[in-house]
Chains A and B, each alone.
Chain A
Amino acid sequence: MTNTLHRFGAPDTLRNDYIIFAMPARGINEEGAPEKLQRFLRMALKHQPVNIGHAMRGGLYRASQNLTPLAHWRRHDVVDPEELVQAIDACSTVAAVFDNPTKLEAFLRDLRAADLGISVNISGLATEVHGCCRRAGITRHSVEYSLGLHGDLHRLPERHVLELSTMCGHGMISHNFARKMIDWVKEGRREPRQAATYMARFCSCGIFNLTRAIRILEEARIGT
């Protein structure tokens, strides 16, 4: 899985985007892992992440199976975070998304002290993440760099669409839907937060960064 590695955008547009995730190694340290994953997310919640999620159970923003027509005017947006945490009963990956390196660093200090014993990774600007680790007293174990996109690049859409759609690395947010949301924001049919929330519901593991999405939509609205 490289679902957080290849988020598209210039470095300046990625400064408020850090995904930290925890996972046990299959067949090695899975024992007691669901409880550790729950602890990881509860610790993350103290530092106000913009989204959290579990790879198999979903994120904070989800589709509803039983909407009524009234939902068009009063739609319930977010799952209770504690409900999400309690539902973790299987070994998988859990993630928290931060829009601020200071909060991330504070969470890293808590993680180091908690010593959960499961693998933790951060996806983001490599030098910024390195700095956060150093300040939190953590020595990096391994790194993976994104070398970007190659091949038939003519098939790619425009910049703002790509910045939005690649925030779900599994590809669940389509280019066409991201483009539709940009158009709706430009036309004044929806506010950026509403448009970002629609997209977040398609990201099945909760790594969509709403803060960044709102900023991209604001920029797209005025054509910058």
Chain B
Amino acid sequence: MEIDHRKCVACSNCIPVCPMGAIYMDTAINRATVNLDECVECFTCHRGMSKEHLNPTIVRTIRGFLRLLRIRFDPEPDVCPTDALTPQVLSWPRIVRQAFSDPLVPHESTGIGGRGTEEVKTNDVTGRVTEGEAGFTIEFGRPGVGVRFRDIQKMTIALASLPIAFEKKNPVFSLMTDPSTGMIRDDILNEKVLSAIVELKTALEHLPEVLRVVEDVAPTLETIVSIGVSTRCNAQGDDLLEALLRRAGYIFYRGKTNLGLGRRPEKQQNPSPVLM
């Protein structure tokens, strides 16, 4: 993202709006400016701010006059008065930033906007995680910190040595050069994104081992790691996971519940016999 300095009136509204804190006032030119190394191309400023299309010269004159009189200007805080935020044309590898940071841009690999896959949300239809398994969503960069792929790679390398299976439809998986070692392609390691999710599953018996590795590696990263663990419930709607996690010392109370209301179309459930 860039800010058109011919239009910017230095109102500062866009500065707090940036989730990465990448917009600042360049006092040498009195215009808001984007630190492109920190910008993750999430488009929050461009999409989230409402836009007026006022004449920049008139706005600057009025603002300057009011400032001279020490009158506090109290505008709407989510408006760019001159539509100065300007998206760039992105190319590889920078385009990876937008793919992981802008939820309205679907990943080519998953077709889903955002950073992960459907994971357990469609488990009632896909059967991806079974009763004896634990599905993991290990998210990096959230909330509001961001992450570079070199930090994600530290975790994927550590995880790859465990008895786990990375989710193949996951966008991070598609960027791995060697899933057996957890290596991610070199040319994106310095790219920063708002957040990214590594998804994997393992047998419930390996749950403590995976959690231990995640907890050991997380403090060595320059970011935040959020952990989600899922499983399939039994016929009564109960799950073994909760007790296992409590035994491992976790205190938790928030979760996501799949109600089991989804189903495969009938033709997929009972394929018609082939007529000879």
Separation of A66 and B256 alpha carbons in the complex (Å):
38
Report whether A5 and B121 are in contact in the complex, using a CB–CB cutoff of 8 Å: no
A170 touching B48 by the CB < 8 A rule? no
Q: Is A222 an interface residue (CB 8 A)?
A: no
Encoded as 1 (CB less than 8 Å from any A CB) or 0, chain B from 87 to 105 comes to 0000000000000010110
Judge whether A140 and B259 touch: CB under 8 Å. yes
Give B37-59 interface residues, CB cut-off 8 Å to A: 42, 44, 47-54
Residues of chain B in range 194-233 having any CB-CB distance to chain A below 8 Å: 194-195, 197, 211, 214-215, 218-219, 221-233
Stretch at the interface among A42-50, A200-208, A209-217: A200-208
Known: A129-B257, A139-B260, A146-B252. A1 touches B224 (CB 8 A): no
Question: Across the interface, do B42 and A171 meet the contact criterion of CB distance under 8 Å?
Answer: yes
**Which residue of B is nearest A183, CB measured?**
B16
Is A144 in contact with B119, judged by CB distance below 8 angstroms? yes
Residues of B within 8 A of A3 (CB): 103, 114
* Interface presence of B179 (CB below 8 A): no
Q: In the complex, which residues of chain A have a beta carbon less than 8 angstroms from the beta carbon of B239?
A: 140, 143
Query: Which residues, 137 to 192 on A, are CB-close (under 8 Å) to B?
Result: 138-153, 155-157, 162, 165-166, 169-177, 179-181, 184, 189
Q: Within 8 Å CB of B120, what residues of A?
A: 142-144
Q: Which of A6-41 contact B (CB under 8 A)?
A: 6-8, 11, 14, 21, 23-26, 28-29, 31
A198 near B77 with CB under 8 A, answer yes
Contact yes or no, A119 B54, CB < 8 A: no
Instruction: State how many residues of chain B have any CB contact under 8 Å with chain A.
Output: 96
Q: Is the CB of B17 within 8 A of A119?
A: no
Bound together, the chains give a CA A55 to CA B103 distance in angstroms of: 8
**Proximity string of chain B (255-271) to chain A, C-beta cutoff 8 Å, 1 when within and 0 when not:** 11111111111001000
Of the listed residues A6, A55, A171, the one surrounded by the most CB atoms of chain B closer than 10 A to its CB is A171
- Cα–Cα distance between A141 and B121 once the two chains are bound (Å): 10
Minimum CB–CB distance from B99 to chain A (whole Å) comes to 13
C-alpha spacing A75/B223, complex, angstroms: 38
B227 contact set on A, CB distance < 8 A: 146-148, 150
Q: Does B26 contact A (CB under 8 A)?
A: no
- Measured CA separation A25–B123 after assembly (Å): 9
- Which positions 117-164 of chain B face chain A at CB distance < 8 Å? 117-126, 129, 135, 137, 139, 141-145
| CB <8 Å contact, A145 and B228 | yes
Determine whether the beta carbon of A171 is less than 8 Å from that of B195. yes
Query: Which of B21, B237, B261 has the most chain A CB atoms closer than 10 A to its own CB?
Result: B261
Check A64 for interface membership: any CB of B closer than 8 A: yes
Beta-carbon contact of A189 and B74 below 8 Å? yes
Contacting residues, chain B, for A156 (C-beta < 8 A)? 143, 145, 224
Q: Which residues of B contact A25 (CB under 8 A)?
A: 118, 122, 125-126, 262
Assembled-state Cα–Cα distance A28/B135 (Å)? 21
A223 interface contact, C-beta 8 A:
no
Could you tell me if A126 and B52 are in contact, using CB atoms closer than 8 angstroms?
A: no
In the complex, whether A78 has a CB less than 8 A from a CB of chain B is no
A152 contacts B224, CB within 8 Å?
yes
Q: Are B258 and A142 in contact (CB under 8 A)?
A: yes
Q: Are B261 and A112 in contact (CB-based, < 8 A)?
A: yes
- Cα–Cα, bound, A138→B237 (Å): 9
Contacts of B182 in A (CB 8 A): none
Q: Which residues of B contact A171 (CB under 8 A)?
A: 19, 42, 101, 141-144, 194-195
Can you list, as one digit per residue, whether each of A103-139 has a CB less than 8 Å from chain B (1) or not (0)? 0000010011001111111111111011001100011
CA distance A85 to B257 in the complex (A): 24
Q: Which of the residues B51, B111, B255, B258 comes within 8 Å of A119, measured between beta carbons?
A: B258
Residue of chain A at shortest CB distance from B44: A172
- Smallest Cβ distance from B57 to chain A, in angstroms? 15
Tell me the minimal C-beta distance from B171 to chain A in angstroms. 11
Smallest CB gap from A169: residue in B:
B142
Residues on the A chain within 8 Å of B242, using CB: 126, 143, 145
With A156-B224, A174-B18 already in contact, the answer to whether A140 and B52 are too (CB < 8 A) is no
A interface residues with partner B (beta carbon < 8 Å)? 1-8, 11, 14, 21, 23-26, 28-29, 31, 55-56, 63-69, 71-72, 75, 92-93, 108, 111-112, 115-127, 129-130, 133-134, 138-153, 155-157, 162, 165-166, 169-177, 179-181, 184, 189, 198, 201-202, 204-205
A–B pairs, 9, beta carbons within 8 Å: A1-B115, A2-B139, A24-B125, A65-B50, A119-B122, A139-B233, A142-B230, A149-B224, A162-B143
Per CB-CB distance, the 4 closest pairs between chain A and chain B, nearest first, are: A141-B260, A119-B262, A144-B230, A176-B16
